[in-house]
């Protein structure tokens, strides 16, 4: 008789975008898992033991293995479990998906943050940069339902911030989503975003919008301060 | 192994001589026995080819495979593994966890080493002291990751994480001189690993000698007007 598969646990927090990436990937693959919520102001032994280097969420625990960093976790989930593939098969397409995920992770967050929380010229400059970045991603969606093609894949998960978090962050700062990512300028992204958040697997692990908004609104002063030092 | 690639693999590398990121790609290409054409780039006066191949970042390295560009050094390493599967693999086949660990450490090197190193040689006073402290922490973490008895980050085989870090071993000397510490003393396992890497032909051939890196940084400091 085959031994039961090793248990899968995900250490995460409510509002975290990288945690959502990992959770959504598990759901798409149909992998049963237990979500363990962490209090980042009082990190558990479990978290500190399994991510001693960064001490951050998400951490994927698969039996006695620990995998850290959301994009590394996505590739691990794709390779360790059966189910619909997250990355395309062709090496060049894989390189393209990884390129844009890296772009999103390294270039997109800061200008979005500053376009909401900075002031004057800094804010205007940040908004310009946001639109330049979004235009590149808009072009990647041309003629496609998702970045991954017909179904959600690695790059869609990497880009989830643009489907859900960007509108909440903007609203928490009194900025309309249309200022950052209007339907007129970015029809592909807006359409993609609506499809992403209503996907069966994604829906079940997307943080509730009202709760997420409340979470960001509770940190308005902190956010403004952070923007000043960025 | 450089040479004009007119047929067969058709690989070209847009690169800059001292770039540790570019050197990762050169090491990987040599480890895999893949011939390629090396195209040195003038970063002060970027070529049409570079701007066309990497319009988003306008940076090297860029790998061109039959004219199609692949950008970002770690992405290039993955691409080489996947497009040339019969060549020496950088990531172990069929071991998802080992692959995840290699990717984690390569990502760690990417996030930490160069940026901290730049602050270490660029800044002075308190911010520099902070950079030195951070660099020691980074190097000790990498030393710990190697542990005892492991030849390379993934075990017996030279792989992705090793290729990601190997070019930076030349920069250790500069970090030591500017930071006032010794890698050998602080991180003996890392120092031993660096020596092992240096013995590999792919590394010996492609990594800039430490003294030259130091001179290069001194040149940058002069140019930026830093004492």
Our CA-based measurement puts residue B104 at a distance from the nearest CA of chain A, in whole angstroms, of 7
- Name the pLDDT band for B9 (thresholds 50, 70, 90): low
Token output for A94: 């894989």
Phi first, then psi: give them for residue A49, nearest 5 degrees: -70, -40
pLDDT of amino acid A129: 98
Residue numbers in A near B92 (CB within 8 A): none
Strands B11-15 and A34-37: unpaired
Residue numbers in B near A94 (CB within 8 A): 78-79, 82
The answer to whether A91 contacts B100, with C-beta atoms less than 8 Å apart, is no
pLDDT of amino acid B78: 98
Q: Where do the domains of chain B lie, and which CATH numbers do they carry?
A: 11-83 (3.40.30.10), 96-224 (1.20.1050.10)
In whole angstroms, what is the distance from residue B25 CA to residue B207 CA? 11
Contacts A–B by Cβ distance under 8 A? 57
pTM of the model: 0.96
pLDDT of amino acid A181: 98
The answer to whether A75 contacts B71, with C-beta atoms less than 8 Å apart, is no
Residue numbers in B near A136 (CB within 8 A): 56
pLDDT of amino acid B5: 45
Closest Cα to residue A69, out of A26, A40, A100, A105?
Answer: A105
Question: DSSP labels for B152-202?
Answer: BTTBSS--HHHHHHGGGHHHHHHHHHHHT--HHHH-HHHHHHHHHHHTSHH
The answer to whether A76 contacts B96, with C-beta atoms less than 8 Å apart, is yes
Residues of B at the A interface, defined by Cβ within 8 angstroms: 56, 65, 68, 70-72, 75-76, 78-79, 82-83, 96-97, 99-100, 103-104, 107-108, 141
pLDDT of amino acid B149: 86
Spell out the per-residue pLDDT of chain A, length 230, in tens: 678 889 999 999 999 999 999 999 999 999 999 999 999 999 999 999 999 999 999 999 999 999 999 999 999 999 999 999 999 999 999 999 999 999 999 999 999 999 999 999 999 999 999 999 999 999 999 999 999 999 999 999 999 999 999 999 999 999 999 999 999 999 999 999 999 999 999 999 999 999 999 999 999 999 999 999 88
In this predicted structure, the answer to whether residue B187 has a pLDDT above a threshold of 70 is yes
Closest Cα to residue A56, out of B164, B198, B107?
Answer: B107
pLDDT tens for residues B77-118?
Answer: 999 999 999 889 999 999 999 999 999 999 999 999 999 999
* CB nearest to A103's CB, from B56, B79, B100: B56
């Amino acid at each position: 008789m085959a031994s039961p598969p090793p248990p899968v646990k995900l250490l995460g927090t409510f509002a975290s975008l990288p945690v959502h990436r990992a959770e959504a990937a598990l759901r798409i693959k149909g992998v049963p898992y237990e979500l363990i919520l962490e209090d980042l102001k009082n990190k558990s032994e479990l978290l500190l033991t399994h991510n001693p280097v960064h001490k951050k969420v998400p951490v994927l625990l698969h039996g006695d293995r620990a995998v850290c960093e959301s994009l590394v976790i996505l590739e691990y989930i794709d390779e360790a479990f059966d189910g619909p593939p997250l990355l395309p098969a062709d090496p060049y397409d894989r390189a393209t998906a990884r390129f844009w995920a890296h772009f999103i992770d390294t270039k997109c967050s800061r200008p979005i943050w500053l376009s909401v929380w900075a002031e004057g010229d800094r804010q205007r400059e940040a908004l310009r940069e946001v639109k330049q970045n979004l235009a590149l991603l808009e072009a990647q969606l041309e003629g496609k339902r998702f970045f991954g093609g017909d179904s959600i894949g690695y790059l869609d998960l990497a880009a989830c911030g643009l489907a859900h978090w960007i509108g909440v962050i903007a609203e928490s700062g009194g900025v309309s989503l249309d200022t950052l990512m209007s339907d007129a300028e970015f029809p592909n992204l807006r359409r993609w975003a609506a499809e992403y958040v209503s996907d069966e697997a994604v829906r079940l692990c997307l943080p509730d919008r009202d709760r997420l908004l409340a979470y960001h609104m509770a940190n308005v002063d902190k956010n403004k301060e952070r923007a000043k030092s960025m | 192994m450089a040479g004009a690639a007119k047929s067969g693999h058709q690989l070209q590398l847009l690169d800059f001589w001292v770039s540790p990121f570019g050197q990762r790609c050169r090491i990987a290409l040599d480890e895999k026995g893949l011939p390629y054409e090396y195209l040195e780039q003038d970063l002060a006066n970027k070529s049409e080819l570079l701007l066309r191949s990497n319009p988003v970042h306008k940076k090297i390295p860029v790998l061109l495979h039959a004219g199609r560009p692949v950008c970002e050094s770690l992405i290039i390493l993955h691409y080489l593994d996947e497009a040339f599967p019969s060549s020496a693999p950088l990531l172990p086949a069929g071991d998802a966890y080992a692959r995840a660990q290699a990717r984690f450490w390569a990502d760690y090197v990417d996030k930490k080493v160069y940026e901290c190193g730049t602050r270490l040689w660029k800044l002075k006073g308190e911010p520099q002291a902070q950079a030195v402290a951070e660099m020691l922490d980074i190097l000790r973490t990498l030393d710990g990751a190697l542990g005892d008895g492991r030849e390379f980050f993934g075990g017996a085989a030279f792989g992705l994480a090793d290729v990601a870090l190997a070019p930076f071993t030349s920069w250790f000397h500069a970090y030591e001189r500017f930071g006032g510490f010794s890698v050998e003393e602080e991180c003996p396992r890392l120092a031993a690993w660096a020596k092992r890497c240096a013995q590999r032909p792919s590394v010996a051939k492609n990594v800039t000698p430490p003294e030259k890196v130091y001179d290069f940084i001194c040149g940058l400091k002069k140019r930026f007007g830093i004492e």
